[in-house]
Amino acid sequence: MERITSGDAEIAYEILGSGPPVVLLHPFPLNHEFWIPAAQSLLPRYRLILPDLRGHGDSGIGEGPAAMEKHALDLVRVLDHARIGRAPFVGVSIGGYALFEFWQRFRGRIASLVLCNTKAQADTQEARTGRLKAAADVLERGTAPFFESMIPRVLGKTTRETRPDLVEGTLRMMRKMSPEDVAQVQRGMAERQDSVPMLKTINVPTLLITGEEDVLTGPPEAELMRQHIPASTMTVIPRAGHFAAWEQPDQVGPLLRQFLDRE
- Residue 109 has a pLDDT of 98
- The number of domains in the chain is 1
- Residue 4 has a pLDDT of 98
> How many Å apart are CA 226 and CA 230, to the nearest integer?
8
**Residue-wise over 117-141: b if at least 16 C-beta within 10 A, else e?**
bbbbebbeeeebeebbebbebbeee
For residue 165, give every residue at least 6 positions away whose Cβ sits within 8 Å of its Cβ, in sequence order, or none.
none
Domain harbouring 7, CATH code: 3.40.50.1820
pTM for this predicted structure = 0.97
Sequence-ordered alpha helix ranges (H) in the chain: 36-39, 68-81, 94-106, 125-141, 144-154, 157-162, 164-174, 179-190, 219-228, 244-247, 249-262
181-231: pLDDT as tens digits: 999 999 999 999 999 999 999 999 999 999 999 999 999 999 999 999 998
- Residue 76 has a pLDDT of 98
> How many Å apart are CA 231 and CA 222, to the nearest integer?
14
- Residue 263 has a pLDDT of 73
- Residue 174 has a pLDDT of 98
Domain of 104 in residue numbering reads as 2-262
- Residue 243 has a pLDDT of 98
Spell out, as residue ranges, where the chain has pLDDT lower than 70. Answer: none
